[in-house]
Structure 1
C-alpha cells in the first residue's frame, strides 16, 4: 500500500505533519518502537509507530530520524498519548530528511492502525498475485497462439509498462517489446553481458548506460550437443529497462515466466538452423570429394527451391582462436570440434535476419557459411554485426573472417571456398578481437603482403621506416606523416603542402630529409611503391 492511503481511507485520528511530497512511498509492514536506535529491527519499507519515549532532548529527534532514513523506512507516525504533541524539532528533522511524519490522536490506538495497514497490504498482495497469475496465463496463450516474441514483449510493455528486449551476445536485437534499441546501445549491452559473465557475476546483470538502467537475464539453454564454449555464444539475454533487484517476488515470477517463453523461441530457432547445417555439411563434403557440379547444384536447390536457376552464392570462412586451445589440433580432436562449433554459432548469429536461409557448417578449422543472393555487402554486414566483440572483456577470443566473391555456378564453389579461407588467413594477421577481409582486397597489394612471412614483412618495414620514426622521436618531427601525405597526393607538391598546411619549401626540405635518411629517391616509381607498402605494413 501507499502512505497516501492513511489519509485517503478516512481513518480517524491521523494527520500529516511533514513529507507531503513523499506520500507515494510503498509500505511493506508496521513496526512499533520507542528504542533510541531501532535500526537492527528494520528491513526497509516499514511504517514506524512510536510514543516518542526515546526523546530526552531536542537533539535526539535528529538522531532518531537519521536512523530511520538510513534503514529505508517508508514513514513515521508519532502518538501523543504519552508525551503530548509532536515537538517542533521532530517535525523539522523529518522535513530536512524528507521523511513523511504523521501524528496519531488519542482516539486511534496503535493496534487499530496496525490492523488497518496489515489488512490493506494483504488485500493488495492478493490482488497483485491474481493479476500476475492472469498475466502468466495470457503470456502462455500468446506464445502458443503464434504471436511471436515481438508480440509477447509488446503485450508486457502495454499491460504492465515493462520495456524489454531480447538480444544475442553478438548484439543482435532478436525481439523488441518497445522502441528498438540503437545499434550502439545493443553493442554496449552485449559487451556488458560478456563482461558480467567473465567476472562470474550473479544474474540478472545490471548495466547503466547514458543515465538509463538495464537488467539482463541470461536465457540459458542446451541442445544436448553443444560444448560449453558454444553455449555462451548461442545464449540470448532478456533485457529490461529497470533494476529488477527492487521488484516484488510476484513481479520477478512474471519475468521468469517471460524468460522461459524466450527460451522456447530460442530452441525453435535452433531447430530451424539444423537443416541449414546439414545442407552445408553435405555441400562441403561434395566439394572435398570433387563431386559433379550437377550433384552439388541439386543439393543447393534444396535450400532455395523457389529461386531462379542462377543463384548467387558467397562463401564466408571463419577461424576462431581461443586462449588455451591448440591451434594445430588435428581434425576430430576435441579442441578443434569445440572451436568449429563456436565459429558456427558466431557466424549464424552474425548473419541472422538477412532475409535468406544462410547455410553454416562447423569444420575442424572453424566454420563455413554459404550466403545466397541477391548479392549484398556481406563483409560490411559482418563488420557491423560483430562490433560487440571488439573490447569484450575477459573473453580473449579472436574471430577472423574471409568473404569470397559472388559466384553463380556450382563448379565455381570450390574456388570460392579457397578464396574465403585465404581471406580469413589475411584477416588473422590484423589487430583487434575480430577482422573481416572481403574478396576485393585479394585483388590488391594486400594479397602480396599477406603471402610473405611475418619476419620478412617486419624486416622490410623496419629497414625503410625505422630511420624516419627514430628521427621523429628525437626531433619531434613529422617525417612519417609527411611521407604518407606525399604518397596519398600522388607526389603533388602543392596539394601535399596544402594538406599539411606548410609552405612548399618546407615540404621540399622534409622530403629531402626523408631521402637522405633512407637513401631512397621519391621521384622514382620503385621507391614510391616500396614506401607505400612499408606504410601499409605498420
Structure 2
C-alpha cells in the first residue's frame, strides 16, 4: 500500500514541490531573502523525491540523508536561520502525509485504517532527515563561526599593527561592519577585570568596542559614533578595575595603528595596578618622559639628584609631598589635608625640596622641570 502511494506521490512531485515552496516562502522572510527561488525549488524537488523514496528503504540503504547533509551545510553557508530550516521539514512532513492521505481516500478508501497504522514509517523517515539536517547545520555553523572569528581577529590585528593597506582596510570595513572613515579611538587595558566579574563590554552607551587579546593586555577598537572621549573614559572607569589607556580620536580605520601605539603609551603612564584610566591628551608630559628615557634620566639626575640621595624614608616623604603639592595646584592647605599634617609642615618640606633641587616652586619653568623629573622617577625603571 505504501509503495503504491509513494509511486503516486512521485508522479505528483512538481505539484507537491510548488505547494511546499509556496508554504515555506509565504511565511518566512529569511527564506525569501537568503535562498534564491530557483535554488529553493530545485532542492525541494530533489529532497521530496529522495524523501518519498526513502519511506520504504532500510536505514542502511537510505540515500536521502547524504543529500540532507549537503543541503543543511548549504543553508548554513547562506545564513538561513536554523529555525527556518527546521520549519521547512515540518511543512514537508505535512505536505507529504496530506498527499498520501488524499491519494488513499480517492483510490483506496477501504484501506485508510491500515494506512493510519503505517504512519510511523512515513514520520520516521522525515524525522530522521530533520535530525540529520539539524546536527549537520550546527556543526557547519560552528565551523563558520570559528573561521569568522579567525578572520575578524586577523583583520583587527592588521589594523592595530598599522599593516593595513587600502585593500585590507576595505576588507576590514566589510568584515567588521565598520565605515572606513569615521570617529575611532583605541583602548588598551591591563589587568582587565571588570568590577562585576563579567566580560569586557562590547557596547558602552552608543559606542561599539571590538576587543583583541595581546601579550600582557587587551586592546579594543572603539567606534565612537557621536560619543566623546570623556564619555568613554567615564564608562571605562566603572567597568574596568585595572589600568587603561585611551588614544586621541582618529578619523578612519587606516589610522588605528598609530592610535594603538598612543593608547599603549597612555596606559604606561599608570603607575599602580589601578583602577585608573589614562587619556593620552591629558598625560602628554608623562608620555614625553616615557618616550625619551635617556634624556629623562639626565633630567632626573640634574633636578632631583641630591633629593634622591637621601635616606629612603626621608626621600619618599619629600617626593610624596612634591607630588601632592603639584596635584593640589600649589595649595599647601589642601596638600596638608591629603597628607594629614599641618600646613606649616608642607611649607617646610617645600622649602627643603627647593634647597635640594636648586629650583623654586614659584617659577613656572622650575615647576616644569620638577614635574617632569617627578614623572620620570615614577614611570621609568631605576638603575
Higher relative contact order (CA 8 A, sep 6+): 2
**TM-score band (shorter)?**
0.3 to 0.5
